[in-house]
Chain A
Amino acid sequence: AQSVSQHNHHVILSEAASLELGCNYSYGGTVNLFWYVQYPGQHLQLLLKYFSGDPLVKGIKGFEAEFIKSKFSFNLRKPSVQWSDTAEYFCAVNENDYKLSFGAGTTVTVRA
């Protein structure tokens, strides 16, 4: 079964700081990769996704992620965070079917 690892459980940073959230997965074949965001009290929303092509993917709200196949990684980045980026971030992977395996999530708290 697919395993998805998110390195940080909770990240606290100040506005304008840069953010990088790590994600590693265990499957060695073809995968589709996703980052979802869950704002407090809300449902999951898609931030960005990678299916194929350019390994540097740009998403909404200034987020981007880089797929590094050799490292089985799909790290999320944002150069300058805002208070409104406070949320929980989930990395998810699927292996050519429609079952998504989610990481445990990383809570990001941005201090104003």
Chain B
Amino acid sequence: DAGVIQSPRHEVTEMGQEVTLRCKPISGHDYLFWYRQTMMRGLELLIYFNNNVPIDDSGMPEDRFSAKMPNASFSTLKIQPSEPRDSAVYFCASSTSGGATQYFGPGTRLLVL
């Protein structure tokens, strides 16, 4: 299996622009998670899905952030408009319904200027 796939790996954008991060979970995994990693706050869970349905979005920082999972093999995390404080590494992870081990993707390193 290819593991969790994320794109792009790096993104540099200017403040105010829309940013879309993409994730393909491991085939057969029913849970998908979006995390943000910063030096100041460490790893934070933003939102997670089960069977394509958002279950808990309490970690989403504000309305500028939105996430979708239109099908079992694809999810997006969108920031609109982006701000410099959104600069971070965004990880996607997936897991099966029968276990709690989460498998992480390589991350997207976002820099908002």
Q: Do A and B come from one complex?
A: yes
Determine the distance from Cα of A43 to Cα of B95 in the docked complex, in whole angstroms: 16
Report yes or no: A42 in contact with B31, Cβ–Cβ below 8 A: no
Tell me the interface secondary structure of chain A in the complex: strand
Report yes or no: A98 in contact with B104, Cβ–Cβ below 8 A: no
Report yes or no: A100 in contact with B45, Cβ–Cβ below 8 A: yes
Pick the most buried of B33, B48, B101, B103: most chain A CB atoms within 10 A of its CB: B101
Which residues from chain A contact B105 at a C-beta distance below 8 Å?
43
Determine the distance from Cα of A45 to Cα of B56 in the docked complex, in whole angstroms: 24
Report yes or no: A102 in contact with B43, Cβ–Cβ below 8 A: yes
1-49 of chain A: CB within 8 A of chain B:
32, 34, 36, 42-46, 49
| Residue from the list B43, B50, B101 in contact with A46, Cβ < 8 A | B101
What is the total number of residues of chain B having a CB less than 8 Å from a CB of chain A? Answer: 19
Determine the distance from Cα of A106 to Cα of B33 in the docked complex, in whole angstroms: 23
Determine the distance from Cα of A99 to Cα of B102 in the docked complex, in whole angstroms: 10
Check A87 for interface membership: any CB of B closer than 8 A: no
29-44 of chain B: CB within 8 A of chain A:
31, 33, 42-43
Report yes or no: B106 in contact with A100, Cβ–Cβ below 8 A: no
Pick the most buried of A43, A49, A90: most chain B CB atoms within 10 A of its CB: A43
Report yes or no: A98 in contact with B42, Cβ–Cβ below 8 A: no
Determine the distance from Cα of A51 to Cα of B99 in the docked complex, in whole angstroms: 9
Report yes or no: A105 in contact with B50, Cβ–Cβ below 8 A: no
Report yes or no: A98 in contact with B100, Cβ–Cβ below 8 A: yes
How far is the CB of A4 from the nearest CB of chain B, in Å? 10
Which residues from chain B contact A42 at a C-beta distance below 8 Å?
106
Which residues from chain B contact A43 at a C-beta distance below 8 Å?
91, 104-107
Residues of A within 8 A of B (CB): 32, 34, 36, 42-46, 49, 51, 90, 94, 98-105
Q: A43-B104, A43-B106, A43-B107 are in contact. List 11 more A-B contacts (CB 8 A).
A: A36-B104, A43-B91, A45-B104, A46-B101, A98-B33, A98-B48, A98-B50, A98-B102, A99-B48, A100-B100, A102-B42
Q: List 6 A-B contacts (CB under 8 A).
A: A42-B106, A90-B43, A98-B33, A98-B102, A101-B45, A102-B43
